[in-house]
């Protein structure tokens, strides 16, 4: 049996990890991520996911209601003492951030088995269509016939032609080599496509168009994470930064829907400003 079949998926691992008696039923994301990497190494998996990919599954389980936020712990990233957290602190995007703890609501929730599918069902979104690879077409080889030598050809003598005088050749300019765009630059240009749709929602609020924009932005977020996982050096750094902007922007859709339902025009425009943060300047 391949080694990858011996390891649990992210959702199942998070459920089993948070229900361990030694942890007291709660843990923060960084600790869960390190434990998940050790779980994969023990199963023989060599290609480990990045922190951003693991955090995506935590976010899907939280949005599906399978796990809930259970407090935060201040952390110091320098030499000083940690700053105390304000009362009523809620998790939000941004760095540096305190440790966010989560606990399981229902261990039998199907979201632990298929996080993204259950999240889409509970949001009323269509399930992603899996890409299918066409079957390989096998063609029969043509019949090979033996080669027969061709008869020798005698070249004909052409009359002598005196070429006209040619002007002095002008040295040709070397071809202009255009720099090839990197995958990070292509992804950032693709993110700017969302800007006109966001501006159109400012003047013409439409809940259905807002849902379609959310679906397209999250699908683009998945592609950025997959590309960053296969990239290196500066491309990986820029793609991860773009993924963080997309993750922050995704939090504005719930606020926009709440503002539309309550007739809060100022709150609706503020939510669109948060969504527009996904577009690089």
- The pLDDT value given to residue 1: 33
What pLDDT score does 87 carry?
Answer: 75
Q: Which pLDDT band holds residue 223 (cuts at 50, 70, 90)?
A: confident
* Direct distance between the N- and C-terminal alpha carbons of the chain, in angstroms, rounded to an integer: 49
Higher pLDDT: 128 or 20? It is 20
What mean pLDDT is predicted for residues 39-51? 87
Residue 3: predicted pLDDT: 47
Average pLDDT on 144-155 reads 75
pLDDT, mean of residues 9-20: 89
Residue 113 exposure: Cα atoms within 13 Å on the Cβ side: 3
Q: Looking at residue 89, what is its pLDDT? A: 75
| CA 178 to centroid of chain Cα atoms | 28
Regarding predicted confidence, which is higher, 2 or 107? Answer: 107
Task: Decide which of 5 and 14 is more confident.
Answer: 14
CB atoms within 10 A of CB 33: 20
More reliable by pLDDT, 127 or 193? 193
Instruction: Give the per-residue pLDDT at 134.
Output: 62
Q: Are 220 and 246 in contact (CB under 8 A)?
A: yes
pLDDT in tens, 74-90: 776 655 677 777 777 77
pLDDT at res. 95: 43
CA distances from 83 to 69, 91, 101, 152 (A): 20, 16, 17, 94
- For residue 78, what pLDDT is reported? 59
Phi, psi of 99 (to 5 degrees): -75, 125
pLDDT tens, 108-141? 998 888 888 888 888 887 766 665 666 556 666 6
For 172-191, what is each residue's pLDDT tens digit?
777 777 768 888 888 888 88
pLDDT of amino acid 141 = 66
pLDDT score for 94: 47
Mean pLDDT over each residue of the chain, to the nearest integer? 80
Residue 275 has pLDDT above 80, yes or no: yes
Between 145 and 212, where is the model more confident? 212
Q: Tell me what pLDDT residue 53 has.
A: 86
What are the start-end ranges of the E strands in the chain?
Answer: 27-28, 67-73, 99-104
Percent of the chain with pLDDT over 90: 2
Q: Which CATH class is domain 3-123?
A: mainly alpha
Measure the CA–CA gap between 208 and 126, rounded to whole angstroms: 13
Each residue's pLDDT tens digit, 153-171: 777 766 767 777 677 677 7
Query: What's the confidence (pLDDT) of residue 257?
Result: 84
The pLDDT of residue 138: 60
**DSSP H or E segment with residue 26:** none
User: Closest Cα partner for 12 from 55, 76, 59, 61?
Assistant: 61
């Amino acid at each position: 049996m391949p080694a990858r079949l011996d390891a649990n998926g992210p959702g199942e691992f998070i459920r089993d990890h948070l229900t361990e008696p030694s942890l007291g039923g709660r843990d923060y994301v960084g600790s869960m991520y390190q434990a998940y990497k050790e779980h994969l190494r023990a199963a023989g998996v060599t290609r480990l996911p990045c922190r951003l990919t693991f955090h995506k599954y935590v976010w899907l389980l939280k949005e599906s209601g399978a796990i809930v936020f259970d407090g935060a712990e201040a952390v110091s990233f320098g030499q000083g003492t940690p700053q105390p957290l304000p009362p009523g602190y809620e998790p939000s995007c941004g760095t540096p951030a305190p440790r966010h703890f989560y606990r399981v609501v229902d261990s039998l929730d199907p979201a632990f088995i298929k996080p993204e599918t259950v999240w889409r069902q509970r949001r009323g979104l269509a399930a992603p269509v899996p890409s299918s690879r066409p079957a390989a077409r096998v063609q029969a080889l043509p019949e090979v016939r033996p080669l027969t030598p061709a008869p020798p050809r005698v070249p004909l003598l052409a009359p002598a032609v005196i070429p006209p005088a040619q002007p002095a050749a002008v040295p040709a300019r070397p071809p202009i080599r255009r720099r090839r765009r990197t995958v990070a630059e292509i992804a950032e240009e693709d993110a700017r496509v969302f800007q006109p749709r966001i501006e159109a929602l400012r003047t013409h609020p439409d809940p259905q168009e807002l849902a379609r924009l959310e679906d397209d932005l999250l699908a683009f977020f998945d592609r950025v994470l997959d590309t960053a996982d296969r990239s290196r050096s500066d491309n990986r750094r820029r793609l991860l930064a773009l993924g963080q902007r997309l993750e922050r922007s995704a939090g504005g859709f719930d606020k926009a829907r709440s503002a539309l339902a309550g007739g809060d025009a100022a709150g609706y425009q503020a939510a669109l400003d948060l969504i527009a943060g996904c577009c690089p300047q």
